[in-house]
Amino acid sequence: MRRSFKVGLFIFALLTLIYLVVCNPFVQRGVFYPFRYRVAVELYSKKYNVDKYLAIAVMKNESGFEPSALSHSGAVGLMQLMPETAEWIATQLDEEPLEDINRLYEPELNIRYGVWYLSDLEQEFDGNDVLALAAYNAGRGNVWHWIELYGWTHEFEDVEQIPFRETRDYVRRVLDSRLKYQTFYEAEEGG
Positions annotated as catalytic residues are: 62
Give every CB contact of residue 7 below 8 A, 6+ residues apart in sequence.
Answer: none
Among residues 51, 80, 55, 82, the alpha carbon closest in space to that of 67 is found at 80
Q: Please provide the size of the chain in residues.
A: 191
Tell me the C-alpha distance between 133 and 130, whole Å.
5
Give the CA distances from residue 1 to residues 10, 14, 58, 121, in Å, rounded to whole numbers and listed in that order.
14, 20, 52, 64
Task: Give the integer Cα–Cα distance in Å for 169 and 14.
Answer: 33
CA 7 to CA 13: how far, in whole Å?
10
Question: Which of 174, 107, 92 minimizes the C-alpha distance to 135?
Answer: 174
Closest CA to 137 of 105, 160, 169, 108: 169
Task: Tell me which DSSP letter residue 32 carries.
Answer: I
Give dist(CA 85, CA 110) in Å, integer. 11
